[in-house]
Amino acid sequence: MGFSLIYHVVHVKIQQYNVSVKPVKPVITRPQPVDSVITGTNGTPQPLACLSVGGYPRQTVGLYIYRTGQNHIKLGDCNTASTVNQGLYDVTETCSLTPTQEDKGALLYCQSSYTGEPTLLEKSDEVLLQFLSMFLTMLLK
């Protein structure tokens, strides 16, 4: 009685896919979403937040200010928090902006990005900083 051996050669190819989900357009809040106008006193800290919802992997968010003739500057004095909802990240960066007369006419915006490709995902509407008398007014552009 004899045995015959049958060999099957199986080729396995493993592919890895990097999946990302683009978050919705970020918004600037204080502490509620900014619709048209935010008013505050010149020289008084103004709480602002950048909210980016529904990204994967966890996106980076930031609040930026652009003064005419200068570079875009990321606001400092910020705290970042995130939650996971159905596998997607909601990220909030909360900052404090103490406006000065130099900020008159500056643009404020929020953006979300990834460290890999694509880097910039979404950018919020720009908010125009204006002073009316002793008050800072932020108008959506």
Query: End-to-end distance of the chain based on CA atoms, in angstroms?
Result: 89
Q: Which two tokens stand for residue 87?
A: 């596998």
The CATH number of the domain covering residues in 27-140: 2.60.40.10
Q: What pTM, to 2 d.p., does this model score?
A: 0.71
Q: Where are the domains of the chain?
A: 27-140
Per-residue pLDDT 10s for the chain (141 aa) are: 566 666 666 666 776 666 788 888 898 887 555 655 556 667 788 888 899 999 998 999 999 888 878 888 888 889 999 999 999 999 999 998 888 777 777 788 888 888 765 566 667 776 666 554 444 444 444
What span, in angstroms and rounded, lies between the C-alpha atoms of 79 and 66? 20
pLDDT (0 to 100) of residue 52: 93
Query: The dihedral of CA 66, 108, 47, 110: what is its sign?
Result: negative
Residues 6 or more apart from 93 whose CB is under 8 A from it?
Answer: 49, 50, 61, 62, 63, 78, 79, 80, 110
Beta-ladder partners of 128? 107, 139
The pLDDT value recorded for residue 80 is 95
pLDDT score of 37: 56
pLDDT given for residue 89 in this prediction: 96
pLDDT, residue 98, reads 84
